[in-house]
Amino acid sequence: MCGIVGYTGSKEAYPIIIKGLKRLEYRGYDSTGVALQNGRLKVYKKKGKVAELEDSLVGKNLHAHVGIGHTRWATHGEPNDRNAHPHSSASGKLAMIHNGIIENYAQLKQELIRKGYSFKSDTDTEVLLNFIEDIKTNNECSLEEAVRIALKRVVGAYVILLLDESMPDTIIAARKGSPLVIGIGKGEHFLGSDASPMLEYTKEVVYVNDYELAIIRPDELILKNLGNEKITPYVQKLDLELAAIEKGGYDHFMLKEIFEQPQTIYDCLRGRLDANAGTITMSGIQKYAEQIMNATRIIMVACGTSWHAGLVAEYIFEELCRINVEVEYASEFRYRNPVINPGDVIIAISQSGETADTLVAIETAKAKGAIILGVVNVVGSSIARVSHAGAYTHAGPEIGVASTKAFTAQLAVLTMIALKIAHDKGTISKERYMHLLNELNEVPEKVTRVLELSDHIKKLAEKYKDATDALYLGRGFNFPVALEGALKLKEISYIHAEGYPAAEMKHGPIALVDEKLPVIFVATKDSYHEKVVSNMQEIKARKGKLIAVITEGDDTTAAICNDVMAIPEADEVIAPILSAIPMQLLAYYIGVAKGYDVDKPRNLAKSVTVE
């Protein structure tokens, strides 16, 4: 994780870096720092968010045309001023920022200690920096050469940006496993963990690949591999507007993103789904359509909310396509030497496309011969690039740390893929296929109606905000929605919440139920409904507070609940896209009512690029 920014050109570097860091704070926000190059290297860093560093620097002379900045999500060493980046080398002549983890840092550190080095921080970054400086000094070589030599010994993941006092206009950058984008301006270059820091300056970007090293000056971008061979930078046009990464009048990104869902789902369906013609066109998977259709097994790999989308998809694929589906936590899948058989297809689901666990899991499966299909939001991200085929979710930048619009877009894409396979395989009747196409087509309009519940849910949030625990229950297609509801509440409000299959609740969690426990059911009208209502009765009998997402007009279920959130009727295959939204709003309003920073909840980061 961590966000990195760099600038070299004729403009003042500091304001560009600070603004860029604010946009990248979703990647980590426990400490911040900048290094400015103005004849001498100056480093300013501090525990806390970017705004706190900015406040502490008011009145200082920050004039410089070259600089780097970092917003941290701690891995090695607690969040404090010492461990904040940039780090300075022993001589004070180099400064470096780093996103990632150097796994063999302890060994490198011991080697350096034996040579007489001491360390000011607890970080792996300072070790790598001094390792580079040691190579530079001993070999009397350039910084570029020293970085190359050092990186051949490094185990782990990194994006590093370095400044060298003796090269006043140059930034040296390198990447393996963490994202790095270089923006190309007129006589200037921008660097970032994503393109957001450079949006108002340029639309021309280069995505740096693993094992590449860049030497960046105002008028020059040299890209090389670790073998010192030059690579021609592949310049791409950014299809992203500034407005997409601003709050647009909402109090929080999370609320903006929740309210964007009618549009994001529409964007996701647009050009793919034609309900009148009865077609689904997904050009990104066309080349592998045959293999996907004939897959003997589909394995969904993902983390967090994306894993929940995979769980919903398991129900949908098995129901519609009659293909065996397994849903795996990417982090577990990777480390248990998974069995991959010929004919297995992996669907990797990720908003950021940079989640390290997911990335490593699919690399493992790819090496074993599986076909990888990426369902990814961020265009050009690592997972998108390593996948054989894929479908973007087109939800636009998701900045709030809690995933919302990306989840519903993932569900929309996965549903379309399932419908396409089912249609091509003949495992769905024409009538049901057409019905589901029409249902999917109506989702954006129904989401607009769900969002009208916002004020009502805000009042519920006030009523339940002081709960210390909550239980989320659902069955079938709505079971993963219950898990997602619990995750949202935990992340945003710090209330302990558990998601469970509604029926499984009686095998243990029911012991938690008393008159203080809110139990949130996802109980829309579907083939499981009667059974879910029985589970609700079991909670009611034990005096739990019953809150439920129900289908509009279902007065019978409403009558047994303390509170309900009624959403438009939808086929059970489609319903999770709608039922997830009241969960998002409830978590959001409870988090706000408790006075928390819902866009940047404690200890979290948006893009988890460490394993």
Q: Give CA–CA dist 565/481, Å, rounded.
A: 14
218 vs 304, which CB is nearer to ligand M6R? 304
CA dist list (Å): 216 to 98, 170, 382:
17, 6, 22
At closest approach, how far in Å is the CB of 301 from ligand M6R? 10
**99 vs 351 by CB, closer to ligand M6R:** 351
Q: What is the 3-state secondary structure (H, E, C) of 291-316?
A: HHHCCCEEEEEECHHHHHHHHHHHHH
Closest contact distance (angstroms) between CB of 443 and ligand M6R is: 21
Of 108, 25, 14, 101, which Cα lies nearest the Cα of 64?
A: 14
From residue 453, alpha-carbon distances to 265, 332, 489, 555 in Å are 18, 38, 18, 17
Q: From residue 459 to residue 488, what is the string marking binding to ligand M6R with x (rule CB under 6 A)? A: ----------------------------x-
User: Bridge partners of 87?
Assistant: 96
Retrieve residue 90's tokens.
């022993």
Q: How far is the CB of 548 from ligand M6R (least distance, A)?
A: 22
Q: Please identify which of the residues 2, 268, 303, 321 carries the catalytic annotation.
A: 2
Cβ proximity to ligand M6R, 8 vs 381, nearer residue: 381
Could you give the angle at the alpha carbon of 246 between the alpha carbons of 209 and 263, nearest 5°? 90
Q: Whole-angstrom distance between the N-terminal and C-terminal Cα of the chain?
A: 10
Contact 375, 348 (CB under 8 A): yes
Site track 482-521 with ligand M6R (rule: CB under 6 A), x = hit:
-----x---x------------------------------
Select the span of 105-113, 185-193, 344-352, 548-556 touching ligand M6R (CB under 6 A).
344-352
User: Which one of 136, 420, 600, 606 is the catalytic residue?
Assistant: 606
**Which one among 5, 24, 74, 608 touches ligand M6R, defined by CB under 6 A?**
608
Residue 95 · residue 41 · CB < 8 Å: yes
Q: Which residue is nearest to ligand M6R (CB)?
A: 304
Told to check if 304 binds ligand M6R by CB under 6 A, we report yes
Residue in 24, 213, 345, 401 binding ligand M6R, rule: CB under 6 A: 401
Candidates 156-164, 347-355, 439-447, 522-530; binding stretch for ligand M6R (CB under 6 A): 347-355
Answer yes or no: are the C-beta atoms of 503 and 509 closer than 8 Å.
no
What are 373's strand-pairing partners?
A: 347, 389
Question: Considering beta carbons, is residue 88 or 306 the nearer one to ligand M6R?
Answer: 306
Candidate list 305, 393, 524, 551; residue touching ligand M6R; CB under 6 A:
305
Report, in Å, the least distance between residue 519 CB and ligand M6R.
Answer: 22
Does the footprint of ligand M6R cover residue 306 (CB under 6 A)? Answer: yes
CB of 491 to ligand M6R, least distance (A): 6
> Is residue 355 a contact residue for ligand M6R (CB under 6 A)?
yes
Site for ligand M6R in 545-604 (CB under 6 A): 604
Both tokens of 33, joined, read 């720092």
Piece of the chain touching ligand M6R by CB under 6 A; list 34-42, 59-67, 72-80, 351-359: 351-359
Phi, psi for residue 113 in degrees, rounded to 5: -60, -40
Three-state DSSP state, 112: helix
Residue 583 CB, shortest distance to ligand M6R, in Å, is: 11
350 lines the binding site for ligand M6R (CB under 6 A): yes
Q: What's at 71, amino acid-wise?
A: T
Question: What's the gap between Cα 38 and its chain centre?
Answer: 36
Tell whether residue 269 is a contact of ligand M6R (CB under 6 A): no
Q: Check: CB of residue 142 under 8 Å from CB of residue 185.
A: no
If one asks whether residue 408 binds ligand M6R (CB under 6 A), the answer comes out as no
Contact range with ligand M6R by CB under 6 A, out of 45-53, 303-311, 427-435, 451-459: 303-311
Active site residue 561: no
CB of 608 to ligand M6R, least distance (A): 5
Determine whether 141 is an active site residue.
no
CB 67 within 8 A of CB 34: yes
Q: For 52, phi and psi rounded to 5 degrees?
A: -70, -40
Angle, helices 405-425 vs 575-593, to 10°: value is 170
Instruction: Report the residue number, 303 or 536, with the smaller CB distance to ligand M6R.
Output: 303
Stretches 284-292, 313-321, 401-409, 506-514: which one binds ligand M6R (CB under 6 A)? 401-409
Q: Which two tokens stand for residue 110?
A: 């011991």
Work out which of 352, 387, 408, 557 binds ligand M6R, going by CB under 6 A: 352
Interface with ligand M6R includes 328 (CB under 6 A)?
A: no
> Backbone phi, then psi, for 36, in 5-degree steps?
-115, 140
Whether the Cβ atoms of residue 30 and residue 47 lie closer than 8 Å to each other: yes
Handedness of CA 70, 72, 75, 76 (dihedral sign): positive
Q: Which residue, 306 or 408, has its beta carbon nearer to ligand M6R?
A: 306
Based on the shown chain and the rule CB under 6 A, indicate whether residue 303 belongs to the binding site for ligand M6R: yes
Cα 338 to chain centroid distance, Å, stands at: 24
Burial of 558 (0-12, 13-18, 19+ CB in 10 A): middle
In terms of Cβ atoms closer than 10 Å to its own Cβ (0-12, 13-18, 19+), residue 226 is: middle
Is 178 one of the binding residues for ligand M6R (CB under 6 A)?
no
CA distance 518 to 503: 17
Residue 95 sits in the site that holds ligand M6R (CB under 6 A): no
Q: For ligand M6R, how many residues bind (rule: CB under 6 A)?
A: 17
351 forms part of the interface with ligand M6R (CB under 6 A): yes
Q: Is 403 in the site for ligand M6R (CB under 6 A)?
A: yes
- CB atoms closer than 10 angstroms to residue 229: 8
Task: Check: CB of residue 460 under 8 Å from CB of residue 493.
Answer: no
Tokens 């030059």 correspond to: 230
Q: Which residue in the set 108, 269, 273, 402 belongs to the binding site for ligand M6R (CB under 6 A)?
A: 402
Q: Residues 32, 123, 358, 408: which binds ligand M6R (CB under 6 A)?
A: 358
Q: Contact between 193 and ligand M6R (CB under 6 A)? A: no
Catalytic site positions: 2, 606
Residue numbers at the binding site for ligand M6R (CB under 6 A): 303-306, 350-352, 355, 358, 401-403, 487, 491, 604, 607-608
